[in-house]
Chain A
Amino acid sequence: MKPKFLSGIGALLAAMLIVGAIFVPVVSATTSENVQDNIADGNALGLIGQKGDDFLDCHGWLTKETNWIRYGGWANCSYEAGYLSVKATLLNRDTAEKMSHTANSAQHVDSLQTQDNLEAHPPAGRYHVLTEAWSLQPSHDVLHYSPVTTWP
């Protein structure tokens, strides 16, 4: 009786170990993906849906940091374009000043992004990024305004 009882406990523990070894990594992996999603959203880049039959899409972003506004932009094509250009300009809504810009261009690409740029200690005001992208072969133009961010 006693050896059988102990064997039963042993089998149960072995089964729990096998289930744990399979189940826990799966749950952990799911959690990691969720954390990743949250970080991406935190950078204002959470693309939720990108359907539609338009060829060219562009997007500008900006974040308020301690001593500067960091900003940039990107452009995406549905398929490879012969030439693609993207320019992100930081604008002061209060004065219409073009504070600075960052740009990029390339041949035979389907996506492109600018380097981040920093505008240090801008005057108090409301800022947004105007992103302008255009392509050749095929020829398309597109504009995008980011939401407004206040400074300081």
Chain B
Amino acid sequence: MTKKFVGTLLVLCIIGILIVAGTQFAGPAGILPIDPAFTPSSETTTPTIKTPAVGDNITEAEAKAIAAAALPEIVRVETAKVRLEHTQDGRGEHCLFEVTDYNSTVKQAQVWVDAQTREVTGFAVHIPDQGRPADPAVTMAEACTIAEEFLADRGETAGLAAAVGKHYSPHTIERTGETVAGHYTVDFPRSIRGVPCFWDGCTIDVDAVTGEIRYYYRIWSLDATRCKGDTEPVITAEDAEERAGTYLRETYGDLPGLAFHSATLVWADCLAPTTGEVPFAWKIPFDDDYDRSLDSPRTDIAFVDARNGTVLSCNYYRRSTA
């Protein structure tokens, strides 16, 4: 009788262990499916993004408070929303709080707050385009001055090269198709030992009608100690262009209308691995008849090592549908 009872108990124990083990290890299969539109396809090679430990980040409430302090006339803690944005790109992994306040019909804003450093890395101010004039009331030179004053007020001029007036962008009202005055984009590349970086720096949009700052974004990720060696080029700009042209012809064949535009020396942080020395290179914008024929004309970029003339990057791409 006793043996029978013990035997039953043993069987029950084994069944119990199997149930517990099965339930435990079946966990991952129980994950709910993600919305298909948000799921990378099987071709996707996006690296897995780690979610930072909670203790490493500021809180949503802190992010709202920082954003409200940055744009007090637009962003209010009571009405702001917060999203956590993960970005994985050539600079590594970033975690930003995006604080938005769309409550006002006059001005709306987005503010990006670094989830770990608390730094405001950027903001955008949106105002209605309806009723704006067709032509700018501000010149590019005035926009550059406004942008310089803005950075000076923020105490952010250190380590930046001089303002580069990049381009004027008119706005098209999506609802009506009407084109109105837009904004100027002014760049302030980060300068390391007198040479600008390709990625690092500040970019600012100045309203072409009111002169207000409409967009500000700061990228500052490069370790300056990785920019080594002489900053005098061994290869001339003309020589670099010739090498890039040779590479393009050998790789892509004859490109009708190929033209190079104003080569400049840069720290090619875009081509460097996450550690190690950053190439000192000629940045050479170029285009051809195909690029110029696109609805939004494209400018490609070649990078040629300024010390030994090696073509580091000379990416050219045509869409198959063109």
Interface residues of A (CB under 8 A from B): 2-3, 6, 9-10, 13-14, 16-17, 20-21, 24-25, 28-29, 31-33, 35-36, 38-54, 56-57, 59, 63-66, 70, 72, 85, 87, 93-99, 113, 115-116, 120-126, 132, 134, 141-152
Q: Please tell me if the beta carbons of A44 and B45 are within 8 angstroms of each other in the complex.
A: no
Return chain A residues, CB-CB under 8 Å to B280: none
Return B36 CB to nearest CB of chain A, in Å.
10
Known A-B contacts A28-B30, A31-B27, A52-B79; A113 and B37 likewise in contact (beta carbons under 8 Å): yes
Return B252 CB to nearest CB of chain A, in Å.
12
Return chain A residues, CB-CB under 8 Å to B96: 147
Known A-B contacts A24-B20, A40-B34, A121-B315; A98 and B296 likewise in contact (beta carbons under 8 Å): yes
Q: Please tell me if the beta carbons of B199 and A53 are within 8 angstroms of each other in the complex.
A: no
Known A-B contacts A46-B83, A147-B122, A149-B89; A24 and B23 likewise in contact (beta carbons under 8 Å): yes
B30, B84, B301: the one contacting A124 at CB < 8 Å is B301
**Interface band, chain B:** 35 or more
Return chain A residues, CB-CB under 8 Å to B38: 40, 43, 45
Q: Which residue of A lies closest to B92 (CB)?
A: A150
Q: Please tell me if the beta carbons of B81 and A70 are within 8 angstroms of each other in the complex.
A: no
Return B277 CB to nearest CB of chain A, in Å.
18
Q: Which of B30, B126, B215 has the most chain A CB atoms inside 10 A of its CB?
A: B30
What are 18 A-B residue pairs whose CB atoms fall within 8 Å in the complex? A16-B16, A20-B16, A39-B34, A41-B51, A42-B48, A43-B34, A49-B81, A51-B81, A52-B79, A97-B296, A99-B298, A120-B319, A121-B315, A126-B203, A143-B126, A145-B110, A150-B91, A152-B271
Q: Please tell me if the beta carbons of B84 and A10 are within 8 angstroms of each other in the complex.
A: no
Majority DSSP secondary structure for residues of B touching A: mixed
Known A-B contacts A142-B102, A148-B219; A42 and B86 likewise in contact (beta carbons under 8 Å): yes
Q: Please tell me if the beta carbons of B80 and A52 are within 8 angstroms of each other in the complex.
A: yes
The CA of A40 and the CA of B84, in the complex, are separated in Å by: 10
CB-defined interface of B286-298 with A at 8 Å, one 1/0 digit per residue?
0000000001111
The CA of A26 and the CA of B169, in the complex, are separated in Å by: 55
